Chains A and B, each alone.
Chain A
Amino acid sequence: MMTYIVFILSVIFVVSFVGFSSKPSPIYGGLVLIVSGGVGCGIIMNFGGSFLGLMVFLIYLGGMLVVFGYTTAMATEQYPEVWVSNTTVMGVFLLGLLMEVMLVLYVLKGEEVGVVFKFSGVGDWAIYDTGDSGVFSEEIMGVAALYSYGAWVVIVTGWSLLVGVLVILEVTRGD
Chain B
Amino acid sequence: MNPLIFTTILMTVLLGTMIVMMSSHWLMIWIGFEMNLLAIIPILMKKYNPRTMEASTKYFLTQATASMLLMMAIIINLMHSGQWTITKVFNPTASIIMTSALAMKLGLTPFHFWVPEVTQGISLTSGLILLTWQKLAPMSILYQISPSINLNILLTMAVLSILVGGWGGLNQTQLRKIMAYSSIAHMGWMTAVLVYNPTLTMLNMLIYIMMTLTMFMLFIHSSSTTMLSLSHTWNKTPLTTTLILITLLSMGGLPPLSGFMPKWMIIQELTKNSSIILPTLMAIMALLNLYFYMRLTYSTSLTMFPSTNNMKMKWQFETKRITLLPPLIVMSSLLLPLTPMLSILD
Contacts and interface: CB of A to CB of B under 8 A. Distances in A.
A170 B9 contact: yes
A132 interface: no
B19 interface: yes
A163 B19 contact: no
Contact of B45 (A159, A163, A166, A171): A171
A171 B76 contact: no
Nearest to A153: B28
Interface residues of B, number: 22
A170 B280 CA distance: 49
A163 B31 contact: no
B38 A164 contact: yes
A156 B5 contact: no
A163 B28 contact: no
Interface in A146-164: 152-153, 156-157, 159-160, 163-164
A116 interface: yes
A165 to B, nearest CB: 10
Nearest to A170: B42
B35 A160 contact: yes
Contacts of A116: 76, 93
B43 to A, nearest CB: 9
A117 B79 contact: yes
B3 to A, nearest CB: 12
Interface in B64-82: 76, 79-80
B35 A163 contact: yes
B15 A175 contact: no
Given A153-B28, A163-B9, A170 B1 contact: yes
A66 interface: no
Interface of A: 116-117, 152-153, 156-157, 159-160, 163-164, 166-167, 170-171, 174-175
Interface of B: 1, 5, 8-9, 12, 15, 19, 27-28, 31, 34-35, 38-39, 41-42, 45, 48, 76, 79-80, 93
25 contacts: A153-B31, A156-B19, A156-B28, A156-B31, A156-B35, A159-B12, A159-B15, A160-B12, A160-B34, A160-B35, A160-B38, A163-B8, A163-B9, A163-B38, A164-B38, A166-B5, A166-B8, A166-B9, A167-B9, A167-B38, A170-B9, A170-B42, A171-B41, A171-B42, A174-B48
